[in-house]
């Protein structure tokens, strides 16, 4: 249950628990370093592969800050995160948790959300999420879809009414043709697409080019959202789900900035929408790997979970 929601930079940067990713992007450590984030317990989520780019520097940085490094992907990740965070659990007050999603994969974000949902059943949590947009590193290259499946089995979406038509909610990104290919795979009766604004004019141009022709083929309603207003964007997602989930079998595909993936997963996981699926479509090994640097601004989103 979401008890409260805020956006904007927190007044202090001391937390009970910090959760970050340790991968190949410079952004993995940028927020922690630039804001001097401190915590009683640090958890670094590894990918188990892609030990290129800035991986060695990132791992050295977080190990120097006494972070416990664990595998952030796979079937055992949710349980591992629960165990590590639960070592700080207290029944006397909210546990403050910092999560930097900037360089996490969508599966990793899902693992964090699912773990926090379970922990919030026994203690109240104050979860502060940071997202540092990357500098534009285009042009974006197209690649074929190699993976099409729910992000996690727990997020497959199990509708009690399988006869209903599919309704798809998409976050749009800059990968050419990816959203169109995913729509052709799902073949929804109706689609709602969320287009990010307020990043960089170069991103805006690349996004338009990457998603041309979608509205020529599918029945689409488009929403613009500003990444600097995550609470407003999440509220719009929740209102839309309330309006359509009785008429459609709903699938969410969170392309685009990682903040949209977090908002979609937070809405589905923390409000108990087991009938809504959250799917991933990707090129896997065909995708172009880019060691992305942070652009400068940080988007903040804070949720209070659990009962008082």
pLDDT in tens, 77-93: 999 999 999 886 665 57
Give percent above pLDDT 70 in the chain.
95
pLDDT at 137: 75
pLDDT tens digits for 239-272? 999 999 899 999 999 999 999 999 999 999 999 9
pLDDT at 286: 43
pLDDT at 48: 83
Residues of the chain with pLDDT under 50: 286-287
pLDDT at 307: 67
What are the phi and psi torsion angles at 192 (to 5°)?
Answer: -120, 125
pLDDT at 292: 79
pLDDT at 92: 55
pLDDT at 147: 83
Average pLDDT, the chain: 91
> Cβ(68)–Cβ(136) under 8 Å?
no
pLDDT at 289: 67
pLDDT at 144: 77
pLDDT at 91: 56
Query: What is the value of pTM for the model shown?
Result: 0.95
């Amino acid at each position: 249950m979401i008890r409260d929601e805020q956006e904007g930079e927190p007044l202090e940067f001391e937390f009970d628990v910090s959760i970050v990713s340790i991968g190949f992007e410079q952004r993995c450590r940028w927020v922690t370093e630039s804001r001097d984030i401190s915590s009683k317990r640090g958890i670094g989520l590894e990918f188990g592969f892609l030990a290129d780019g800035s991986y060695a520097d990132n791992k050295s940085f977080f190990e120097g800050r006494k972070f416990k490094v664990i595998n952030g992907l796979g079937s055992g990740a949710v349980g591992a995160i629960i165990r590590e965070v639960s070592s700080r659990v207290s029944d006397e007050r909210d546990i403050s948790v910092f999560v930097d999603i900037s360089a996490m994969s969508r599966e990793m974000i899902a693992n964090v959300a699912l773990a926090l949902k379970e922990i919030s059943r026994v203690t109240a949590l104050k979860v502060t999420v940071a997202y540092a947009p990357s500098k534009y590193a285009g042009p974006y290259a197209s690649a074929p879809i190699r993976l099409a499946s729910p992000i996690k089995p727990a997020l497959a979406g199990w509708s009690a009414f399988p006869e209903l038509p599919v309704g798809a909610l998409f976050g749009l990104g800059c990968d050419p043709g990816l959203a169109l290919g995913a729509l052709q795979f799902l073949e929804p009766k109706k689609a709602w697409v969320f287009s990010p604004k307020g990043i960089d004019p170069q991103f805006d141009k690349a996004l338009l080019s990457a998603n041309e022709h979608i509205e020529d083929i599918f029945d689409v309603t488009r929403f613009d959202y500003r990444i600097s207003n995550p609470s407003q964007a999440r509220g719009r997602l929740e209102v839309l789900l309330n309006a359509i989930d009785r008429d459609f079998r709903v699938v969410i595909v969170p392309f685009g900035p990682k903040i949209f993936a977090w908002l979609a997963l937070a809405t589905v996981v923390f409000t108990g929408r087991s009938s809504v699926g959250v799917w991933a479509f990707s090129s896997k090994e065909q995708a172009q790997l880019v060691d992305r640097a942070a652009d400068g601004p940080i988007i903040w989103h804070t949720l209070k979970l659990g009962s008082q």
